[in-house]
Structure 1
């Protein structure tokens, strides 16, 4: 069954609460006549009297009072829902990201990110696990991997390539002019980036490499390389700052394309979606030169 117009229901509730059409009109920013007309139309539609005049007051009938009470409860429920939606759309945008990308790339861009998007309310959450963006309070994930992932939207920001890096001081101590020279240089190991990947791409059948300092954190490995402890196999997405600052150099031009990359990930149903999409567009523009595919 079709409901009466919402404006008529609101007029009834206000008039019953104030016992006055005039005061209801003031609350609703309409005229006395408009409230009277809305109530009259509602009475005609329902086929029942909702108000009776008692001196200077408009008293709701028992039916009118009962209906007004239910409308008031419904309005309170609607108001709570709207307030909840407003709160959900406001507040900080929580960005989940891995430690290496956070410290090597993101932290250098935060000032420009806020200034150019106008988004000042950001919370950066550094964590090793993959945020699900549904139950853990994160709004955006800067994920490293192949993508895409089920249940979320994603765009690729940076295509990864792998290449050797070292400190300028180490390069002076261990001149490296060709890929084979790396076989005689101290090599830093990463548990997820075997040197064999790069050597095979360069056409070199690498022998069993001797024991060396190993890491499971890419950022720490780059710091170790910058201290001259060895040559690291770096991911392009997190080595940019160190190469630009001169802390690290590339001793050889050879590099290897890999399927993994950095992605901007979000959920389409997030109530902060307009703000999230604005951030997405900024990240895409900022990394435009780092995507080859």
Structure 2
């Protein structure tokens, strides 16, 4: 590794960040320096390499063929360094970092975490609520709770729970819903880009979502659920989203049928990660909580 002494580490970091993010501004924000500083670091690194690694365009940077080869190794190397440093920090601080969708975190997980803390007072949980599919192999995240159909590359995914959907509404509105076709007369609360449509529940009942009328639209499922609690319409919910509101009497499920969407919750870790006591304890607790009833 003596050749590392011939290259400036900050220059290599600037190259990797700019290549991965595609422009100087994003790289500067990630590295906490000015755009000019990133530009100068890249120029110095290119001088050391003896050839350009990027083509400059008005919309950003495009790696040259040589640059693509170099950046592939730089990205892999810095990812390994980041993972190693994250491991040191976690062991030093006793922190388990969990990446999870904001809706699952706010409507289900945070209300139950105290039970985990009581069982494992020595393990500190840090919740990273994010909709993006974080790669636990190249970040400081230990565990991801993902929602989807599985089959993700380069991770180990264990199914936690199949997602079953069913209509929910306020108790007052539920009094007028006696049979599934009554939904045609109710306002329907919607998300603009849901993971599944109303046909997931209507089709097994011999209906089509074309029968449904208009209603309010909200940007995420958490807001949709709150709108249902407020009596603004009927929302197609699922267990981990609606179970607590139902148990408290704020919502009702007017129909007994619940149907599988093909979407599940998954416990995701890096494929190459060695199991730790903290990860195992959190997985066992989470599995037990879900099995006990959502």
Equivalent position of 1:185 in the other structure:
186
Q: 2:208 pairs with 201, 205, 216, which one?
A: 205
Instruction: Name the TM-score, length of structure 1 as normaliser.
Output: 0.65
Deviation at 1:84, TM superposition (A): 9.3
Deviation at 1:85, TM superposition (A): 6.5
Deviation at 1:162, TM superposition (A): 0.6
Equivalent position of 1:160 in the other structure:
163
List aligned pairs for 1:49-128, cutoff 5 A: 87=89, 89-91=91-93, 92-128=95-131
**Per the alignment, do residues 248 and 88 of structure 1 end up closer, same or farther by CA in structure 2, a change over 3 Å counting?**
closer
Deviation at 1:270, TM superposition (A): 3.6
Deviation at 1:83, TM superposition (A): 10
Instruction: Tell me the number of residue pairs that the alignment of Structure 1 and Structure 2 aligns.
Output: 208
Equivalent position of 2:137 in the other structure:
134
Secondary structure of the 2:210 match is: coil
* Cα distance between partner residues in 1 of 2:119 and 2:212: 47
| Preserved CA contact (<8 Å) 1:133 1:141 | yes
* Cα distance between partner residues in 2 of 1:84 and 1:177: 54
Moved over 4 A (4+): 82-88
* Cα distance between partner residues in 2 of 1:277 and 1:288: 16
Secondary structure of the 2:153 match is: coil
Equivalent position of 2:177 in the other structure:
176
**Per the alignment, do residues 260 and 89 of structure 1 end up closer, same or farther by CA in structure 2, a change over 3 Å counting?**
same
* Cα distance between partner residues in 2 of 1:245 and 1:84: 40
* Cα distance between partner residues in 2 of 1:170 and 1:250: 11
* Cα distance between partner residues in 2 of 1:142 and 1:180: 35
* Unmatched 5+ stretches in structure 2: 1-83
* Cα distance between partner residues in 2 of 1:121 and 1:248: 33
Q: Which structure's CA Rg is the greater one?
A: 1
* Unmatched 5+ stretches in structure 1: 1-81
* Cα distance between partner residues in 2 of 1:115 and 1:285: 15
Instruction: Name the TM-score, length of structure 2 as normaliser.
Output: 0.65
